[in-house]
Amino acid sequence: MITNRGIRAIDDEVKRKIGAGGIVASLLAATIVVALAFYGGIYSPISPEYPPTPAPYRGNFRSINRSITTSFGEYIPYAEWYILASSGYSIDPSLSNVVNQEDFRHLSEGAKQKITENGFVVITQNQFSQIYEILDGNYWTEIPNFITSDAVLHAFHVCYDLALREVEVYSFWDLLGNLTNSLLQEAYEVYEDAPEGVWREAARLNIAYFTVAMCLLDNSTYIHPDVVSEVNQVLGYIGNHTIMTDDWFMSYMEDFTQFVPRGHYTRSEVLSKYFLAMMWLGRVQFRLESLSNTRQAILMALMMNETVSGFNIELSGYDVWDSLYEPTAFFVGVADDPTPLDYSQVIKNVYGANPSWSILQNESLLGEFIETAEDLHDPLILGSPVAYGEDINVTKGMRFMGQRFIPDSYILGQLVYQHVGTINNPRLMPKGLDVMAAFGSERAWELLEDQKEYENYVEQMEMLRSGISNMTDAEWVQNLYYLWLYSLLPLLHEPSDAHPLFMRNQAWVDKQLHTALASWTELRHDTILYAKQSYAAPEAAPSPEQPPGYVEPVPTVYGRLASLCLMMLEGLGTRSLLSERLQDRLETLHSFLLDLRSIAIKELAGQSINETDIQVIESARHTLEYIGTMPEDPLITSGIDKYMSLIADVHTDPNTMKVLEEAVGDPHIIIVAVPINGQLMLARGGTFSYYEFTQPMSDRLTDEAWREILDQGDEPDFPEWTSSFIVTADTEGLMLGLLGKAE
């Protein structure tokens, strides 16, 4: 059962410590993840078989920066200028001027050729599950480390994901249960008090709505006889999670395939139940086009004025709701749809502060309410399936804990039918490259050449690229989600001739695009519940002598990630959402990132690094292992967390009944020819692996299912364009000696 322990007050005297990490929970603590859980998906409209061809539906770049009204953490930037004066060097075709070439003599000819042509090569492997394991192998085989942006981006993902898991389990679980239970009890009272007719029916449906939510949290929840058929029907759809249907009590088309716990929500029963309840509260729409839906929303907004039981202080439903909503804006962003708080103000303007049943029954006032509510902000992302001929505004209406607007979902949604293509040639499935092209990647735009044949695709992309390029730095750092994306932007810039040799080629541009796509995949994985998806230890053995290594010279990436760590530390710490284990990891990562930034700036300026810098590079294996390893906690982690692999569906097409899956697999090995102590050496590190493919929407993949596919060797091919820098072990031969010291 959901225990009635209640929401603790913000006051220090009513705070409690929870969990092994000593998280201090507060009323605001409960907030962060609740709202995040509402990113159901981006959809394409469902097309009939023989409709007339409509006029092109042309999107316009609309503000994708609905700014938050509360400051959760200050963004402190690090200087982004540096001197480009890298020392020049060349690579002999036979690698004869590489002083440690014998350590890599087992490389295949294909790998050696890429090193001589591009200065680096990325090689697939199936020996390591994490990047730090590759660095650990370097230590024992005396190979120089190459510290990649991939490694620290993945380390930040672990910290971000850990933060969400902790607050969801140790704060939000109780808060969500108590709030939902209180509103269910209030729904009973409203139902008993309501006069016969349409308003009593709306009250009955609200009982069904909150009963479903409570049943998803606690399957022993009492179901009122008057709603048992509706509740059981929906619970059946959610349990099967295989269909889209409008045959349920809200009477619009809902995609019940979204109700598959995935992301980190497969790690424990608590997380899985939390996912289902939050997905329900985030996806269900109370559409303005429906009088019945609107009556439900009005009653619900009025119910929120009542005191919520079970707490040490008197709190209204809005107090509790707001404590669950606002911090989530810090993690992800604001709701894409109107909220109960938006509706409460319209109710006051139309019906008054405390309307009686007789006032509510005035149907002309209901019409006035709908007309006024139409002036509330429109949704920007189509997050549910709609019928042919309908557009996104048909979905307009209140969502109790609405899914959040994220710019990448907006981009994907703007680049599918009906915005792009015709009824005879619709673009139904977008690509991850769409996001990177809109963010300014010229290489991604080149790789999308075959997509430009779709009607209106070029125009839509130009609109998006122009709008995003005009976003200010302040807009990019408004929350953690945006700032993560902002940290990826430097990877999309093409290096100049003053950069190190291995960066001055198309293959490196492709590799950086590949890194950005994989890190974006981790971001979508972590926020899969909240983001609105578009629809279309030390060794005892003697220490070997490891040569100094090299840091991938992208100081702007390291600086922005360091600022991101600081913003998380402040934003979570001031709201008692920061456990000791998370705080230590974030502080360690912040310090490590600043060290990498300093080293990278020296490398770009052709300056020598000192002994302290060398120690940072040599100890990176321990630093990354500590930061990037989830703590053992049965409520938030499981065995799957030992792997780097993960998967997230980011777009749904109800026409083909498929979803777009973005995935990360086991890390690749990267070998780079770099100058170390005035000598050309091969250094080794780890990078992301990245996959993109479609999957039946009735079988959305979990991390566990994806791991099984990888273990069986059934994973799809890598994107074709990655062949410019990747050598596949199966075809080129990953020889003995690559993974260890050459004999």
Q: How far is CA 44 from CA 254, 278, 399, in A?
A: 13, 23, 20
State which H helix or E strand residue 217 sits in: helix 198-217
**Distance from the first to the final alpha carbon of the chain:** 61
Q: How many domains does the chain have?
A: 1
Stretches where the chain sits below pLDDT 50 are 1-70, 537-542, 730-743
> Can you spell out the DSSP letters for 590-650?
HHHHHHHHHHHHHHHTTPPP-HHHHHHHHTHHHHHHHHTS----TTT--GGGGSS-EEEEE
Q: Which of 688, 619, 658, 454 is nearest to 44 (CA)?
A: 658
- Give the closest residue to 159 by CA, choosing from 588, 473, 491: 588
Report the distance separating Cα 536 and Cα 525, nearest Å. Answer: 19
Does some domain include residue 456?
Answer: no
Q: Is residue 381 part of a domain?
A: yes
**Total Cβ atoms within 10 A of residue 104:** 21
| CA triple 51-52-58, angle to 5 deg | 105
> What residue numbers bound the domain in which 22 lies?
12-37+166-395
What pLDDT does residue 317 have? 87
Q: Is residue 82 part of a domain?
A: no
> Does 391 fall in a domain?
yes
Choose among 543, 425, 604, 555: nearest CA to 142.
543
Question: What DSSP element (H or E) covers 123?
Answer: strand 120-123
**Long-range CB contacts (within 8 A, 24+) of 217-224:** 217/2, 217/176, 217/177, 217/180, 217/273, 217/274, 217/277, 218/1, 218/2, 218/177, 218/273, 220/1, 224/188
Distance between CA atoms of residues 577 and 569, nearest Å: 9
Beta-ladder partners of 636 = none
The answer to whether residue 525 sits within a structural domain is no
**CA 298 vs CA 206, 251, 305, 344, 399: distances in Å:** 11, 18, 12, 8, 12
pLDDT value of residue 100:
94
- 636: in domain: no
190 within a domain of the structure (yes/no): yes
Give the strand pairing for 254-255 and 244-245. antiparallel
State what percent of residues in the chain have pLDDT above 90: 71
DSSP state of 419: T
pLDDT digits (tens, 9 = 90+) for 552-585: 999 999 999 999 999 999 999 988 889 999 999 9
What pTM was computed for the model? 0.88
| Domain contains 516 | no
- Name the residue type at position 716: P
CB contact at 8 A, 344 and 318? yes
Please tell me the distance from the alpha carbon of residue 176 to that of residue 708, in angstroms, as a whole number: 33
pLDDT at 440: 97
What tokens were used for 51?
Answer: 């409709």
